[in-house]
A and B are shown apart, each in its own frame.
Chain A
Amino acid sequence: MSTKGQQERLELLQGTLDLLILRTLLLGAAHGHAIAKAIEMRSDEVLQVEQGSLYPALHRLIKRGWISVQEGTSENNRRAKFYRLTARGRRQLAVETSKWDKLAGAIARILMPAEQEGKS
């Protein structure tokens, strides 16, 4: 296992994970475990959140001021950290989403003609 390969994969994942976290929190404040679960469930278990990378990502978002963290009580009366989207985070989500759309669209446009070429 080369170190370099791992770094590239991580980087690729990071941005995406940030976007997914922000999107998940748009529905309301949640604790770490719930965020991971929500991402897995909403992607029909296709996306497996590497749980270890969830926390550095959360902290990175806190540092950037896109989410905030609060002490709260969870459904079964246990104390937990709840992460919440800030106003800046909400704006950032819009930016990131449109960026993602553009990226996905661009990649799709590149891939599509290849299929059509194959057909013709």
Chain B
Amino acid sequence: MSRRKRMMKDLDQDIRDFIERETQDNVERGMSSEEARNAALRKFGNVTRVKEETWELWSFVWLEQVWQDVRFGLRVLRKSFGFTCVAVLTLALGIGAITAIFSIVDAVLLRSLPFRSPSSLIALHEGLPKMGYPKMSFSPPDYAIFARHQRSFASVGVFRDEHVDISGEGEPERITAARVSASLFPILGAEPILGRNFTPEEDTTGHNVTILSYALWQRRFGGEAGVIGRTIQLDRQPYTAIGVMGPDFQFPLAGPADNGSPAALWVPMALTPAELQGWGGSYFNSVVGRLRPGVSLNQARAEAQSLAQVIVAGYPGAIADFARHGELTIIADPFQEEVVGSVRTLLLVLMAAVAFVLLIACGNVATLLLSRAAGRQKEIAVRTALGAGRVRLLRQMLTESLLLALAGGALGLIVAFLGKDLILAVVPASVPLPRQIALNGTVLAFALAASLLSSLLFGLVPAFQVSAANVQKPLQEGGRSGTGNGSHRLQGFFVTAEFAMALILLVGAGLLIRSFAKLISTDPGFRPDHVLALNIPLPRQAYASADEVREFYKQLLEQASNLPGVNTAGISSDLPLNASELVSMTIERGEGATRPPEAIAQSWVLGNYFQTMGIPLVRGRFFGPEDRLENQPAAIVSASLAKKAWPGQDALGKRIRWGLKDPWATIVGVVGDVNQGPLNAPLAPHVYRPYDQLPAAFLENDPFGDWHALNLALRTQADSASLASAVIGKVHSLDRDLAVTNIWTMTQVINSSMSGSQFNAFLVGTFAGLALFLAAFGVYGVLAYAVARRTHEIGIRMALGATKGDVFRLVLRKATFLTLLGIVIGWAGSLSVTRLLESLLYGVRPTDPLTFAIVSVTLGGVAALAAYIPARRANKVDPMVALRYE
């Protein structure tokens, strides 16, 4: 028995007892027993009220009233089933969309990195801002100096991506490896689950040890514990496996520009003496440090900056000038920033887009509620007349809104779950987002919060409107309950706001779509059709001498050229859109004067590379057999470089050299510009050099492995992809253990370089479409309802001689006004919001008038279409029927 029930039973007994005693007293005073009892009862007062008062004392009155509201609300919502369905579905779309995007934002931006106390992990970069490198990774000697002198960090570590062939047991395959310093895993707080970490001693040359990732261990070694101590062939060299990392450990993390490929295994960084002498180059090593406790990021930044001066001071001779001229800096940023920085803008844009969608959905439900409230005026008036307080009515209305929002939220979770998977399924490889995300507690809490907030957004105004309703008017008006003026104006406000927000979203989507269109129509500078490209890396130890490497590629080129179906063939150290070698070059301005070194892309080519790629010759000649190692170094420059370096002069015969000490190369030709990176990146000047003239010492040292991993390009007669197996056959006839990677048609390369832009346009476009649909539905709903309510009025107008055209215009006038107002407000909003998009755009400005025009016309057209149906219905009103209704 509940306490309340027990107390109430006690009370009954007590009251009986009290009245008996009082009666007894009265009898003692001389009353008759009946008189005495009546007097006692009179004196006690209203027994029921006393019980009620006490009952309330022991109950949670408000909770019971809420339950009452909920039951009543459910009944009301069930009664108007159509309205409920539309409202819940609308909200489900809005809440689902924002929850789906939030789940990605939560996983990427809000969750901290999966390492020990990630907030004190700092990414360090060098920069030569005056030479066009605002932010780059460290060069080995600079890292060594920094690591030796710094005091801000408890420890610093360095790592770098590499690709290696793993062979021995099973098929040879090309995998991503990372060279990591022995200090790195302890900095991250990561321990092997099997075996051990690298020792500092192993972090020096000559120790062939490796730690495996969990995935590689499972896939290639069946998850056997016995793998520790086993010998594994990496690039045909024996390595001893000393550890296995846990299943959740991933490093490097995807996201940063350099060294952002999760590795399948790790080897010691073991910087070689040659690497440590590589002053002023090889800025390819990522550095991460853990702040010493008590040291702030700003202190670390200040120290890093002063160490940059120490580093420059230590540079030998001319390289010190070069570094001083470039204003060498050291940049320290939170590691988290480094990892997620590149997708932050995209995610914020998406979050803003879905927020607009949700707001529009709320606007729709609010107008529906207002329409319905107009129809409920009589009910409300009756309830008010019967004594319902305003607060109670307000609560009742808000409870209904809350029920709608919660139902919408529940359904929205399903939408979010499916939507999130849909989005992640189309994330292109170039966008560093996780491919799988689970809906967790945070996301559920967010969906709940979004539902609650929505219920206020769409419910508060209609609730006030309803509860403030005049008691007398609706009752006096009898059956003719017309919509109040206030209600109309509020609906207009919501519809206008919806249009304004839809316009902003459409402008955003329009700008992204125009960017994508611009990208597609951008001339990449080469002819991608019918070109097949394959990357053929040679294991460095197996091809140690420069002659061996050159011989292999020459034979491959010859054999591939002779394949049936191949028109021309060429080889290059990098492919268009994927240039990896960015070097500092000195340009001779004539008569000994030079420009300071600047960043220029450099490619080493062999065979008919230009003809194969379809890169046009502008002046001079392509490379020929005369450009051999022992002859005068030759170079071909891109047209933009020729124009920039020697404005108004002939570039042919001018000279250029790598760095400050290399021999001068004479320019023998000028070719068309080719995009080195994504099509939306600005063109960089480009220098092509004959692979034959790459000095043997460079080729044999090859710090990045680029010169051991050349790309074979074939221009084919028919479908280029079908030739792939024939080419791989040729590769294996030369060396059957080689792993061929990255087999692409150049069309695929182009498409994949545009995939990020396509992804942005697709996502924002989808949300904008959703917004447009919802806004159109909103204006349709308002007008349809207004026409239905005004049937009587329209009937009178027609009876008094209004033509069908008059009626048509009457309805459309309102729609036109709301739409135009919404568009104008939307313009103002777009101008201030689309700046957020700027970094995602290409070739269009955020204020692009064409986009604004097209979008406004589209929105206007859709609004007209949505208004047309109710206007037609108004037109068909039969005055006789409308008036008979009275």
A94 at interface by CB-CB < 8 Å? no
| Chain B interface, DSSP helix/strand/loop, else mixed | helix
Instruction: Return the chain B residue nearest A48 by Cβ.
Output: B43
A55 touches B14 (CB 8 A): yes
- A15 and B843 CA atoms in complex are apart in Å by 77
B734 at interface by CB-CB < 8 Å? no
- A104 and B58 CA atoms in complex are apart in Å by 32
Within 8 A of A (CB), among B43-57: 43-47, 49-50, 53-54, 57
- A42 and B46 CA atoms in complex are apart in Å by 26
Residues of the A chain whose Cβ atoms lie less than 8 Å from the Cβ of B22: 33, 51
A52 at interface by CB-CB < 8 Å? yes
A19 at interface by CB-CB < 8 Å? no
B15 touches A33 (CB 8 A): no
Within 8 A of B (CB), among A28-52: 31-33, 36, 50-52
A106 at interface by CB-CB < 8 Å? no
A32 touches B14 (CB 8 A): yes
Interface-centre pick from B7, B18, B43 (highest chain A CB count, 10 A): B18
B11 at interface by CB-CB < 8 Å? yes
A81 at interface by CB-CB < 8 Å? yes
Within 8 A of A (CB), among B1-44: 7, 10-11, 13-15, 17-18, 21-22, 43-44
A9 at interface by CB-CB < 8 Å? no
Instruction: Return the chain B residue nearest A56 by Cβ.
Output: B53
A33 touches B18 (CB 8 A): yes
Once A33-B17, A69-B10, A81-B14 are accepted as A-B contacts, the answer to whether A59 and B57 lie under 8 Å apart by CB is yes
Once A81-B10, A81-B13 are accepted as A-B contacts, the answer to whether A63 and B58 lie under 8 Å apart by CB is yes
B54 touches A59 (CB 8 A): yes
- A3 and B45 CA atoms in complex are apart in Å by 17
Once A33-B21, A80-B17 are accepted as A-B contacts, the answer to whether A51 and B43 lie under 8 Å apart by CB is yes
Residues of the A chain whose Cβ atoms lie less than 8 Å from the Cβ of B46: 52
B58 touches A81 (CB 8 A): no
B54 touches A51 (CB 8 A): no
Once A51-B45, A59-B11, A81-B10 are accepted as A-B contacts, the answer to whether A32 and B54 lie under 8 Å apart by CB is no
- A75 and B44 CA atoms in complex are apart in Å by 22
B10 touches A56 (CB 8 A): no
Instruction: Return the chain A residue nearest B46 by Cβ.
Output: A52
- A32 and B18 CA atoms in complex are apart in Å by 7
B17 touches A31 (CB 8 A): yes
How far in angstroms is the closest Cβ of chain A from B82? 41
* Interface residue from A32, A51, A52, A69 paired with B17 (Cβ < 8 Å): A32
Once A51-B18, A55-B15 are accepted as A-B contacts, the answer to whether A62 and B7 lie under 8 Å apart by CB is yes
Instruction: Return the chain A residue nearest B47 by Cβ.
Output: A52
Once A50-B45, A52-B44 are accepted as A-B contacts, the answer to whether A81 and B17 lie under 8 Å apart by CB is yes
Q: A56-B50, A56-B57, A81-B17 are in contact. List 14 more A-B contacts (CB 8 A).
A: A31-B14, A32-B17, A33-B22, A36-B18, A51-B22, A51-B44, A52-B45, A55-B14, A55-B54, A56-B53, A59-B57, A62-B7, A63-B57, A81-B10
Q: Give the interface of A toward B (CB within 8 A).
A: 31-33, 36, 50-53, 55-56, 59-60, 62-63, 69, 78, 80-81
Q: What are 14 A-B contacts defined by CB distance under 8 Å?
A: A32-B14, A32-B18, A33-B22, A36-B18, A51-B44, A51-B45, A52-B46, A52-B49, A55-B11, A55-B14, A55-B15, A56-B50, A78-B17, A80-B17
Across the A-B interface, give the 9 residue pairs with the lowest CB-CB distance, nearest first.
A52-B45, A33-B21, A56-B53, A52-B50, A51-B44, A33-B18, A59-B54, A56-B54, A81-B14
